[in-house]
Chain A
Amino acid sequence: MTCPVIEAIDIVKDLGKGAGQVQALKGISLSLTCGELILLMGPSGSGKTTLLSVLGCMLTPTSGTVRVLGQSTAGAGPGDLAKLRRDHIGFIFQSYHLFPTLSAVDNVRLALDIRGTAAEPALVRSKEVLSTVGLSHKINAFPHELSGGEQQRVAIARAIVGGASAILADEPTGALDSENGHAIMTKLAEIAKDHSRGVLVVTHDPRILPFANRIIRMEDGRSCLQAA
């Protein structure tokens, strides 16, 4: 496995148009290596989500370079970027974004279905991954039948089921109480220990600090502090 998993160099990102245009990222560099858990912290509006979107190939930077497994994303179209995300990156969102009409196992399987994995092996694999996040007893439950913590665990399963090299989570515990939040972070730290991938978590939550290999603080579109 190539390390680092994602590399961002001198990223500038302008958002919005005309008078409303903001420079959300002002020349930030960061690299995520496998086996590590990075915490990205900073005040609201400092550009954390924007940075995550750029690292996750959802936004293309205004200037600067992004490399995924050593391969530059320069010149890639929306379709190529989608394929990069599908093959190498798993996302976890604050509001889970599970599909309300699909069961837990189908929500996980979706990440394999979009790559054309056949239904049978995809189902087997999805059940396996759901049991690693402690949900083997809820595979047929629908999102509305699950607690917030359980929904986020389904989302984690969906992010890792395809063997992504980078897991990017934007405030994954933001909607959870402390007990569930702690459980989710423990799970993410456990995932990061697997040397095939790196995990980057955006959070406000100081209780998560002990889990991190590295902490990056952001302020106004720049990284102002890196702590090991």
Chain B
Amino acid sequence: MSLIYRLASRNLFQDRLRFVATIIGIVFSIVLVTIQLGLYLSFERMVTTMIDHAPADLWIVPLGTKCFEDPSLLDEHDRDHALSVQGVAEAIPVVIGFTQWTVPSGGTTPVFIIGSDASKTGLHPWNFVAGNLETLSTPHAVAVDRTYFGRLGITKIGDTTEIRDQKAQVTAITAGIRSFTTTPYVFTALEPAQVYMGSGPNKVSYFLINVSPKANIDHVRAQLLEHLSKVEVLTPDEFRDRSRSFWLFGTGAGAALFAGALLGIIVGTVIVAQTLYSSTKDHLIEFATLRAIGSSSVYIHKIIICQALLSATIGFSLAAAISLIIVKSTAETALPIVMTPELTAGLFLLTVFMCVASALSAIVQVIRIDPAKVFNQ
């Protein structure tokens, strides 16, 4: 093996305190970036989770709908107009909206109702841990996620409460269906949802359109727009984009997360640059000696970059371990931090980039080195 690695690792480990400072800098920075981007990914998933799980080729939404949680309503008889369009196989009504849940032990808490006919395809709960979809066909039946047990003041199947003064009974429990707004989702059938929302029997929020196998989606969409007024027809991707840009960028939440991540990167780069710079300064006479005995500048740069890459690898490994613990410990909470293989790989590249960029300040130092200085020391 070339001595480059040996020189780099010994330079790195020789000054323990500086080594620890370097690693803390990297770990702090990468964990911070992980949390920010992990939250962003988590938010991104939560924001579109309902759209992701809805069996729709197209969505009919009220004109001007900004996100899935938008309170605007459609007329239920628009469904007949939609079904009259050739190529439309199904137009499934869905009712959504915020309302009040009475906590059995006292007080109320806001919840987000999702109502869809339980006996047919529709926007139904998934990930059942107790009960099942059929139970939602019984009167007053609701399904909730166990993440929100504390907030809703319930503990098990069969618990009863009131939603907007109407009786409700928990008949099914899911796991991991969390909302970006942190308001608990409550699934129910279509009519009870209309009752819980107080929206009236002939009002719905969306129609999920399924087109027949041979139909052309663009064509169906144009026809729907022709047959219906004051609506928009969106593909799931368009609706996702709209929800995402509303919640993550319209509210500034996404910008805040990215600003936090950027701050982490800057702080980390500055710390690593500072420690590498001072390490190089301490070994300047050795670099001058290398130059004096005829080493190329590339050889010297390789030592410094190797030192940076070693710091990156050690720092990243520690940061990844800490992030894994954070991911595990937030997995069951209302605000889970998400790690994906892509994010992990991206963070590793970011760490490497950060460390190599930091090495530049040290490299600039040795570029100007005068080999003749070895005679005077």
Contacts and interface: CB of A to CB of B under 8 A. Distances in A.
Contact-residue size bin, chain B (C-beta under 8 Å from the other chain): 20 to 34
A87 B294 CA distance: 8
Interface stretch (A27-35, A97-105, A215-223): A97-105
A89 B294 contact: yes
Nearest to B375: A49
Contacts of A53: 372, 375
A45 B116 CA distance: 96
Given A99-B286, A106-B3, A113-B3, A91 B293 contact: yes
Contacts of A200: none
A155 to B, nearest CB: 10
B345 interface: no
B286 to A, nearest CB: 6
Given A53-B375, A58-B372, A93-B375, A101 B293 contact: no
A95 B3 contact: no
Q: Is the interface of A mostly helix, strand, loop or mixed?
A: helix
B307 to A, nearest CB: 12
A82 B294 contact: yes
B374 A97 contact: yes
Interface in B278-292: 285-286, 289-292
Interface residues of A, number: 31
Contacts, number: 76
The residue among A83, A86, A91, A99 with the most chain B CB atoms within 10 A of its own CB is A99
B195 to A, nearest CB: 77
Contacts of B285: 97
A72 B254 CA distance: 64
Given A52-B375, A97-B289, A101-B14, A114 B6 contact: no
A101 B10 contact: yes
A197 interface: no
B11 A114 contact: no
Interface in B1-36: 1-4, 6-7, 10-11, 14
Interface string A60-98: 000000000000000000110011111101110101010
A99 B2 contact: no
